Structure 1
Amino acid sequence: MRGVFASFTTIWALTVVGYLIGRYGLLGPHGTAVTARLVFFVAAPALLFTTLARAGLEQIFTPALAVFVVSTVLVAVCYLLLAGREVRADPARATVGVLGASYVNAANLGLPVAAYVLGDVSLVAPVLLFQVLVATPLALAVLDRAAGRSGSVGRLVALPVRNPIMLGCAAGLVVAVSGWQPPVEMFRPFELVGSAAVPLALLALGMSLPGSRPLARGADLRERWLAVGLKVLGQPLVAYAVGRWGFGLTGPALLAAVVTTALPTAQNIFVYATRYDRATGLARDTIVLSTVAAAVSLVVITLLLG
């Protein structure tokens, strides 16, 4: 339990620092956008490259990955069905909502939870891979098109190649599959830059909070609570059902499958929303509320299944 609490304490400490930076305007009026862009274009690709380069294929293709994929797809469909016709008519807004309901914080929270609660960091690698290689390209393709930056099928197909996060993932996978172990000196610059991705994302999230009211009524109130409910309750319940009765998982394997789906919404969603200037309030509020709720639900899940 201490690992879960320690992880959330770190997250909230950095978020509070970001809030103070934004509250007093220490980085100017464009500080949030610039910080988010730095994460998107530089720090996150470096982090993903070093993480995936060290992952073995046997750590990726597991039953827990199948459970996560199935639960993610089902929750995404549920969100679209329940969100209403107005939301479905706005692809960018619907995409941010779907991500808020199903895209988990596999990096900065998933890694420490996997280490302290599950006892194996590699258990979160399949989740990270699916999200950055499948869910993220699809979501960014929709956001790219909604922003008027995509006019042809060829441009959509080439989107992963033009996306820095995808390039970092692809490079890491090439190294992992090849079996080549690059010199330590080659990894160090990427590790140094990548280590800034998580704190910068949390700072950017905190900087966006001054003036926000995640519990206030607003145009996206229904979408906000729908995304949070599906993320914190819906996805773990679906994962439990699919894992136990669909794949016959028990013990640590079932716990790992459920815990990874119970992680709160990732800060990356706010970075993507800010990058494309679409539904940033929905992304921010969903992250904040799901993170608070997951602090409780993760403990309950671990007590029940662990």
Structure 2
Amino acid sequence: MSGVVQGFTVIFILIGVGYVLGRTQTLGPDAHQTLSRLVFFVFTPALLLHSLSTTDVAQIFSTTLLIAGGSAFAVGAVYFVLARTVLRREVPEAVIGALSSSYVNSANLGIPIAIFVLKDATFVAPLLLFQIVIYSPIALTMLDLTALRSGAGRITLRDTVIAPVTNPIVIGGIVGLVISLTGVTLPHAVEEPIGMLGDASVPGALLAFGLSLTGVSVLRKGESPRRDVALASVMKMVVQPILVFALAYFLFDERGHALFAQVVIAALPTAQNVLVYATRYQRGVVLARDSALVTTLVSIPVIGVIAALLA
């Protein structure tokens, strides 16, 4: 539990700094929008490029990739269907909700938890790769085609093909993966600034999250889509960990520390990146913000229960 507390302390301190900056208007009235765009267009692509280009991809392709990636995609797909058929949401809001229900905070919280609790940061790498290379491109392409082009008429085949390769986050992930697979070594003068920019992604996203909480009431009636937030939170903190346990235990016959690690990773809260995406496309912003906050608070006792049962 001490590792859980350390990991979450890091998160709450940075969110708190962002909230104070917002309350005091130190960075101006448009700080949240500006910082979110900076994270989306610069910091996160640099983080993905640097992380993947310096990672041995051979170590990532494991059963963890299948379990973590498959469960995340399954939970997101179920949410999307429910949002479209039961809640009657438009595609962009359904996509943001699907990400809120399944997109794990694998970087800014997953890595500290993996280090402090699991004693091995490599447990997070397969899920991080899945979210970067597969999950994000699918979601961002859907947002590109439905949110940015909502008034542009019929979606063409050209739109579908071009959308993924013009998104900076997708580009960063693909370039980093290609560099890793080909064994190319970037010159130090190039790798160093990319790494420095990437290091700003995690604190930038957390600060932007704190800024987004300024002057708002979470789950406020009439503003927050409470049913959407409740559905996303339950699926993220209950359904996804149970599904991962079932897959790891019954299908892949995992036991002990490996099983514990799989379930802990699944119980991590919604990533702040989802709010960055929502802010970029101006769809589902409140849903992403409230889901991230609720799941972050709920994940503390959930991980504690998992540690008591499986550690």
Matched, 1:257 2:256: no
Aligned letter for 1:103? Y
Aligned letter for 1:192? M
CA contact (8 A) 1:65 1:257 kept: no
CA contact (8 A) 1:137 1:159 kept: no
Range 288-297 or range 154-163, more displaced: 154-163
Change in Cα spacing, 1:87 to 1:132, as seen in structure 2 (3 Å) is farther
**Of 288, 291, 294, which residue of structure 2 is paired with 1:286?**
291
- Which residue is equivalent to 1:133? 133
Range 155-164 or range 288-297, more displaced: 155-164
CA distance in 2, matches of 1:141, 1:182: 29
CA distance in 2, matches of 1:221, 1:91: 18
Structure 1 segment 1-306 matched on structure 2, within 5 A: 1-83=1-83, 85=85, 87-149=87-149, 151-218=155-222, 220-306=225-311
Aligned letter for 1:76? G
Deviation at 1:281, TM superposition (A): 0.4
CA contact (8 A) 2:96 2:274 kept: yes
CA distance in 1, matches of 2:292, 2:60: 26
Change in Cα spacing, 1:8 to 1:237, as seen in structure 2 (3 Å) is same
CA distance in 2, matches of 1:10, 1:31: 22
Aligned residues: 306
- Percent identity at matched positions? 42
CA contact (8 A) 2:84 2:91 kept: no
Render the CA deviation track for 1:52-111: whole Å, top value 9, x for unaligned. 112212221111111112212331233234446364440011111110000000111111
Deviation at 1:3, TM superposition (A): 2.3
Render the CA deviation track for 1:200-259: whole Å, top value 9, x for unaligned. 111111111023222433451111011011111110001001110011111222122212
Q: Which consecutive residues of structure 2, in runs of 5 or more, have no partner in the other structure?
A: none
CA contact (8 A) 2:64 2:262 kept: yes
Change in Cα spacing, 1:153 to 1:221, as seen in structure 2 (3 Å) is same
TM-score norm. by structure 1 comes to: 0.94
CA distance in 2, matches of 1:101, 1:157: 27
Deviation at 1:154, TM superposition (A): 1.9
Deviation at 1:289, TM superposition (A): 0.6
Aligned letter for 1:134? I
Deviation at 1:165, TM superposition (A): 0.9
CA distance in 2, matches of 1:74, 1:270: 21
CA distance in 2, matches of 1:136, 1:90: 19
CA distance in 1, matches of 2:221, 2:122: 40
Deviation at 1:116, TM superposition (A): 1.8
CA distance in 1, matches of 2:88, 2:172: 31
Q: Secondary structure at the match of 2:104?
A: coil
Deviation at 1:183, TM superposition (A): 4.0
Range 1-10 or range 211-220, more displaced: 211-220
CA distance in 1, matches of 2:70, 2:130: 11
Q: Secondary structure at the match of 1:118?
A: coil
Q: Which consecutive residues of structure 1, in runs of 5 or more, have no partner in the other structure?
A: none
CA distance in 1, matches of 2:254, 2:180: 28
